[in-house]
Amino acid sequence: MPHSISLITTLAAIALVLAFRYPLATALTIGASLAQIGEFSFILAGLGMSLGILPAAGQNIILVGAIISIALNPVVFSTIEPVRSWLLKHSGLARRLDVRQPETAALPSTVDEARLTGQVVLVGYGRVGRRIAEALLEKGIPFVVAEQSREAVEALRKRDIPAVSGDASDPMVLAQAHVIRAALLVIATPDPVKVRKIVEVARQMNPHIEIVLRTHTEEEADYLRKEAAGEVFMGEHELALAMASHVMKRMEHPAR
């Protein structure tokens, strides 16, 4: 029974991910991650017991199935690459599924070329990225957003804002954002590992590009400055400066 639960869940997840036009490797990874029975099953089992719908034996079966599926999960993950390699070797369909990309992975052909030269490439459209994007829009400065969320990219395109989906540490994503012809790269994501990789890739593609990035810690900020990664902004530091500036102005002209 546990094997059946894991298999059905995995196959359903893989099929769903492929239906949304993600590549085969992504589908296999998500399928493996969802193979185990989650903690929510315990809540449902407890609710079933309290309502008298589920007998004690049924709860025990769910518990045993969950334990076994959790124990098997690392094994399932270890099979991802062998299964993918076997499928790619024996199936033309698998090869097509493995290389395909969603429509949001490339800029629409309708984007004016003038907006893709000397533009800002904005990586990340979270809380910080949104504010930067709005400021660029207000000033009429052309920019392209590179964001992992396809939903966010689709929403941006509805507003006629050029955007591509994907991990910006992947050279293909930065290429689609036309970083080669960009004047400025703004990295609004705080992940230090990805930030370094994005900087490295961007510099290889456009050695003269100016880079602005963010970080959360003094150590990471010092490292990035030593590596000449670009202009580094640290959230707490910039907030403290803004607050201190406000305090100084108020104390120079205190309210009467």
Find, among 191, 78, 68, 204, the residue nearest to 128 by Cα: 191
214 pairs with which residues across the strands? Answer: 233
Backbone angles phi, psi at 122, to 5 degrees: -105, 115
Helices (H), the chain: 2-19, 24-33, 40-50, 56-78, 80-90, 92-99, 127-139, 150-158, 171-176, 192-205, 218-226, 235-252
Tell me if residue 122 falls in helix, strand or coil: strand
1-29 pLDDT tens trace: 545 666 777 788 788 777 766 667 767 77
Is pLDDT above 60 for 123?
yes
pLDDT classification of 223: cutoffs 50, 70, 90: confident
Residue 236 is predicted with a pLDDT of 67
Tell me the Ramachandran region of residue 230: left when phi exceeds 0, alpha when psi lies from -120 to 50, beta otherwise.
left
The mean pLDDT value for 137-148 works out to: 93
> Could you report the per-residue pLDDT of 178-201, keeping only the tens digit for each?
998 999 999 998 788 888 889 988
Reported CATH class of domain 105-246 = alpha beta
Question: Within 51-170, where are the H helices?
Answer: 56-78, 80-90, 92-99, 127-139, 150-158
3-state secondary structure of 38: coil
- If you ran DSSP here, which 8-state letter would residue 216 be given? S
Stronger pLDDT, 37 or 137, i.e. the higher one: 137
Which residues of the chain does CATH 3.40.50.720 include? 105-246
Once rounded to an integer, what is the mean pLDDT over residues 148-176? 90
